[in-house]
A and B are shown apart, each in its own frame.
Chain A
């Protein structure tokens, strides 16, 4: 058959078979035992020409309600942010996106240098010493952090706050089960980790304390107190952070966090139905040799010229096999590159300004809800999300909002039974005053 992705002509094929010394292509598959040979034809859809296929898939895509033609107040871990146009142009350079892991550094200096810059930016934002080249997402990064802590402290119990993203906690529990690590949840109070409860739960068996800051409700956690308690029993403090928030907030490193993880989706990565995003993983220097995944380091070539290589590979699966610090191989390199470009474009002042705008706009929205008499149960300082109580189910509110082209907030009752009829609202820099006012007005009567 002829296909644009298959260059072999009939003549080529004939010449090649002759060179090999076989009669037919089938002879090359003679080593597959007769009994397991697949003799039919896959019962799948027939091939479609490019234009027809593109039309069909465009129509399929058009069935979805996207956040660009609608106005979204939905966050809960994935956000609608400004993505500089340049990001897609850079990651569309096919020298980047059609390459694999830079195993051959001499012809991979571009990727290696870009990742080295990514590691630097993550360290800058988190206030940590070492960052790796990426993890699958924020959820798996946090789970791997918990496993690192268990291995490091040789303890088998982790305490995780209920204000950590519910899906992340689920991922943590799955990973923990594999390693027979016990996961115990710390309750919350007034929208943040219950410090008194944590004190009571804390003991010498705890490998790590895990919190999210800003947390799932958008609230800032009392990190000073949590750090004191965690380190009082020599357990590690793991903080999951939205890196954008760290443009304005003190970095978790300055609060004494041992491991900081999160997802860089807010920087340059479209939401893409939740994936691929890109996890980041940063540690204090002491944990450098325990970090999972790939690390890029600076070195010199034979002539003393600066260059970059994958380094400290003795941690990794392809060298250490069953003794590796993690099984991760493929990571999210291209999305780490996208984030690097976004962080570069925003730069020192833009990251700060964008984070600042999120705080201002979210607080404005919160104030407007309060003005209308809505109850806002958690009143602590917040980043770009807050919880608002409705008189009727959130799903109904969202149906009504959708008629006006608004994608409403997250229905907290889905994962917090005690927060039925509570909506988690996200307001990013992309929401205008007009959109916020419309959103609040549309919910009139639901106080």
Chain B
């Protein structure tokens, strides 16, 4: 495939790609309206291209991009499932996409009804007492939840609770969110079974514990079997239990965070509930809480009374506003459409199939790669390329070789507690044929590692660019186009 020039390199003075209305009001001299020192002296150097130029440019770029619709995308912990097309149609309805957040509430009751009903559905799915739809993404939800936990402890006169405990296998956002919320992070170890080490947890909890953040199933794809004991350990010292919902796709209809003892939950609607990932966003990260944390929910809170729905701003104990307006409504519309397309039986079947697929792949790949934890997994699992590493082939090489087969590789080198880690999440929307073909590719790569390692080490061979020099990019950052 040919190089695609930057849009700035296609630009030609005099071309346009827009159609603005005519200026139909009497025109005034701009200098009369705005003092000259406020006016630009040089135009912003934006492209000058025709509409077809633009369409061809972005079509060319799209061909240089792999999405779920292009092929299998078993990126662990990201739940790259199919994004239903009806969701896109619903989100684009004029009554949803062209309404202003500050319109009179009486004129947006339909949107508020959808938000309310989505919250009700999420309450039931998570087993929590209230849900806010405001956070924009998972990490934003984590921070929102932690701020609420902080406000809760402070309201109880327990300002000394400054520590948030996270397992060594946790997503990087967990400790980062704890820092932004003003907490200190304490790490708890995993045991040889890949689960949180209960003795270590007992050691690290104490009177300063604000919360334990946990993903369950964890990032190794293993269900934390001792969740009841863990909840007891944390609650007995007065701490709260935080559920990172990144892996909820494993337990729909099977177990609810609220029943496991979690006090605060965030969900990633762009993972489990099919908001598309959009090349990195926008997501949506609603947060559910148990009763005692309700006063601290971010403002405004959507309430229903005899006059209909309204946004309540009068929340004296609220942590405040976490974003402008009411969350990523457009993503929430998509998630709601999905939940209504699935129903209770459909959601349960989602997790059953996601877990079935993961276990099937794990079993089929186990003879060829190290399996650090020999037990059933949930919706994802990890393999280690330790065996291949001895032959000079690393997890990174395997990932790059998979590109030649038309696959997006698994998440690699995460979680940090598994050497040469490859984390595979097939999701429930993939067929057995797709899984079998991927398994075949992985087996072939394992053989190549033994017989002709250079073909793996030098991969990818078929992509539009070869491996890129990331060191150069960081050492000599070029972060924008500069006209020659």
**Interface hit among A164-172, A199-207, A231-239:** A164-172
Tell me the nearest residue of chain A to B110, going by C-beta.
Answer: A63
Known: A28-B359, A41-B344, A134-B281. A317 touches B139 (CB 8 A): yes
Nearest A residue to B362 by beta-carbon distance? A20
Report chain A residues within 8 Å CB of B73: 99-100
Residues B102 and A74 in contact, CB atoms below 8 Å apart: yes
Question: B172 to A319, Cβ gap below 8 A?
Answer: yes
Residues of A within 8 A of B24 (CB): 432-434
Say whether A167 contacts B325, CB under 8 Å.
yes
B129 at the interface (CB under 8 A from A): no
**Closest approach, in angstroms, between the C-beta of B381 and any C-beta of chain A?**
12
Assuming A47-B342, A318-B172, A357-B23, is B323 touching A124 (CB within 8 A)? no
Q: Which residue of A lies closest to B180 (CB)?
A: A327
* Max chain B C-beta neighbours (<10 A), residue from A94, A95, A276, A348: A276
Q: Quick check: B95 and A179 within 8 Å, CB to CB?
A: no
Q: CB-defined interface of B257-288 with A at 8 Å, one 1/0 digit per residue?
A: 00111000000101000001111111110000
A295 at the interface (CB under 8 A from B): yes
Min CB distance B329 to A, Å, is 4
CB neighbours (8 Å) of B222 from chain A are 31
Contact status of A107 and B345, CB under 8 A, knowing A36-B259, A37-B254, A327-B176? no
Question: Is A76 located at the chain interface by the 8 A CB criterion?
Answer: yes
B443 within 8 A of A: no
B323 touching A294 by the CB < 8 A rule?
no
Which residues in B have their C-beta under 8 angstroms from that of A354?
A: 18, 20
CB contacts (< 8 Å) of B49 on chain A: these are 344, 347
Cross-chain contact A33 with B94 (CB below 8 angstroms): no
B156 at the interface (CB under 8 A from A): no
B474 to chain A: which residues have CB within 8 Å? 297, 311-314
Check B349–A334 contact: CB distance below 8 A. Answer: no
CA–CA, A302 and B466, complex, Å? 6
In contact, A21 and B479 (Cβ under 8 angstroms)? no
Kindly list chain B residues whose C-beta atoms are within 8 Å of the C-beta of A307: 465, 468
Q: Please tell me which one of the listed residues B57, B278, B325, B465 contacts residue A301 in the complex, with CB atoms under 8 A apart.
A: B465
For residue B382, give the distance in angstroms from its CB to the closest CB of chain A. 16
Tell whether A228 is near chain B: CB-to-CB under 8 Å: no
B325 engages A275 (CB within 8 Å): yes
Q: Is A97 an interface residue (CB 8 A)?
A: yes
Mask, B44-68, CB within 8 Å of A = 1, is 1111110100110111111111111
A77 and B323 CA atoms in complex are apart in Å by: 13
Q: Tell me which of A48, A120, A318 contacts B480 (CB under 8 A).
A: A120
* Distance from B461 Cβ to chain A, minimum over Cβ atoms (Å): 10
Chain A residues contacting B44 (CB-CB under 8 Å) are: 121, 124-125, 246-247, 251, 348, 351-352
- Residue of B whose beta carbon sits closest to that of A93: B62
Q: Would B41 and A250 count as touching, CB distance under 8 A?
A: yes
A50 with B54: in contact, given A322-B178, A348-B48 (CB under 8 Å)? no
Cβ contacts under 8 Å, B343 to chain A:
44-48
- A120 and B8 within 8 A (CB): yes
In-complex Cβ contact of A273 among B67, B111, B320, B375 (8 A): B111
- Which B residues lie within 8 Å of A357 (CB)? 20-21, 23
Q: Is B64 a contact partner of A62 (Cβ separation < 8 A)?
A: no
Other-chain contact of A121, B46, B270, B467 (Cβ < 8 Å): B46
The stretch among B223-231, B233-241, B384-392, B445-453 that forms the contact with chain A is B223-231
Closest Cβ of chain B to A284, distance in Å, is 13
B124 and A43 contacting across the interface, CB-CB below 8 Å? yes
Tell me the complex Cα distance, A93–B22, Å: 31
Cβ-based interface call for A332 (8 A):
yes
A152 proximal to B (CB < 8 A): no
Can you name the residue of chain A whose Cβ is closest to the Cβ of B85? A94
**From B319, B342, B359, contact of A174 by CB (8 A):** B319
Given A48-B341, A95-B66, A110-B63, is A322 in contact with B25 using a C-beta cutoff of 8 Å?
no
Q: Nearest Cβ distance between residue B99 and chain A, in whole angstroms?
A: 5
Contact digits for B316-333, partner A, Cβ 8 Å, 1 yes 0 no: 000111111111111100
B304 beta carbon closer than 8 Å to chain A: no
Residues of A within 8 A of B431 (CB): 7-8, 12
Q: B19-50: which residues lie under 8 A (CB-CB) from chain A?
A: 19-21, 23-28, 30, 33-35, 37-41, 43-49
Is A341 in contact with B54, judged by CB distance below 8 angstroms? Answer: yes
Contact of A65 with B103 at beta-carbon distance under 8 Å, contacts A97-B67, A97-B279, A333-B281 already known = yes
- CA of A57 to CA of B35, assembled, Å: 49
A442 at the interface (CB under 8 A from B): no
Q: Does A257 contact B (CB under 8 A)?
A: no
Per-residue CB contact flags for chain B residues 174-203 toward chain A (1 = under 8 Å, else 0) read 011111111001000000000000000000
* A345 touching B17, Cβ below 8 Å: yes
Residues of A within 8 A of B340 (CB): 45, 47-48, 53, 57
- Given A307-B465, A326-B176 in contact, is the A66-B95 Cβ separation under 8 Å? yes
List chain A residues, Cβ under 8 A from B30.
248, 356, 359
A381 at the interface (CB under 8 A from B): yes
Q: Is the CB of B161 closer than 8 A to any CB of chain A?
A: no
Whether A337 lies near B279 (C-beta < 8 A) is yes
User: Smallest Cβ distance from A175 to chain B, in angstroms?
Assistant: 7
Residues in A103-160 with C-beta less than 8 Å from chain B: 103-111, 113-117, 119-121, 123-125, 130-131, 133-134, 136-140, 147
Residue of B nearest to A214 (CB): B38
Cβ contact of B93, chosen from A3, A58, A319, A346, cutoff 8 A = A58
Collect the chain B residues with CB atoms within 8 Å of residue A317's CB.
139, 172-173, 175-176
Find out whether the CB atom of A330 lies under 8 angstroms from the CB atom of B282.
yes
Which residues of chain A come closer than 8 Å to B325, judged between CB atoms?
A: 78, 167, 273-275
A429 interface hit (Cβ, 8 Å): yes
Known contacts A30-B376, A64-B95, A320-B176; is-contact A350 B34 (Cβ 8 Å): no
The answer to whether B155 has its CB under 8 Å from any CB of chain A is no
Q: Are the CB atoms of B38 and A381 closer together than 8 Å?
A: yes
Give Cα A110–Cα B3 distance, bound, in whole angstroms.
Answer: 11
Of chain B, the residue at the smallest CB distance from A435 is B24
**For residue B136, which residue of chain A has the nearest CB?**
A136
A413 contacts B by Cβ under 8 Å: no
Query: B259 to chain A: which residues have CB within 8 Å?
Result: 36, 38
Which of B111, B254, B349, B466 contacts A29 (CB under 8 A)? B254
Residues of chain B within 8 A (CB-CB) of A249 are: 34, 38-40
User: Cβ of B107 < 8 Å from any Cβ of A?
Assistant: yes
Binary interface encoding of chain A residues 166-202 relative to chain B, with 1 for a CB under 8 A from any of its CBs, else 0: 0110110111011110000000000000000000000
Interface residues of B in 337-367 (CB under 8 A from A): 337, 339-350, 352-353, 355-357, 359-360, 363-364
B-side contacts of A361, CB under 8 Å: 23, 25
Query: Are B472 and A140 within 8 A (Cβ)?
Result: no
Which of B21, B329, B331 lies in contact with A430, CB distance below 8 A?
B21
- In the assembled complex, the CB of A212 is this many whole angstroms from the nearest CB of chain B, namely 13
- Interface pair B179/A273, CB less than 8 Å apart: no
> Given contacts A64-B111, A327-B143, are A8 and B432 in contact (CB under 8 A)?
yes
Query: Do B179 and A348 touch across chains, with their CB atoms under 8 A apart?
Result: no
- Residues of A near B345 (CB, < 8 A) are 1, 41, 47
- Does any Cβ of B come within 8 Å of A399's Cβ? yes
Query: Given the known A-B contacts A106-B400, A356-B30, are A306 and B3 also in contact in the complex, defined by CB atoms under 8 Å?
Result: yes
Among A29, A65, A92, A320, the residue within 8 A (CB) of B355 is A29
Q: How far is the CA of A134 from the CA of B279 in the complex (A)?
A: 12
CB of A86 within 8 Å of the partner chain: yes
* The 6 A-B residue pairs with the shortest CB-CB distance in the complex, in nearest-first order: A274-B325, A61-B95, A47-B343, A274-B101, A63-B110, A334-B278
A–B pairs, 22, beta carbons within 8 Å: A8-B432, A44-B121, A60-B110, A64-B107, A64-B109, A64-B111, A68-B94, A74-B100, A78-B100, A95-B65, A136-B328, A274-B100, A301-B466, A317-B176, A320-B172, A326-B176, A329-B172, A343-B46, A347-B11, A347-B46, A350-B16, A361-B23
Starting from the known contacts A62-B95, A303-B466, A363-B33, 18 additional A-B residue pairs (CB-CB under 8 Å) come to A5-B84, A25-B355, A36-B228, A54-B86, A65-B99, A86-B17, A96-B279, A99-B67, A117-B481, A171-B322, A271-B100, A274-B100, A275-B325, A276-B284, A321-B176, A329-B137, A332-B136, A351-B44
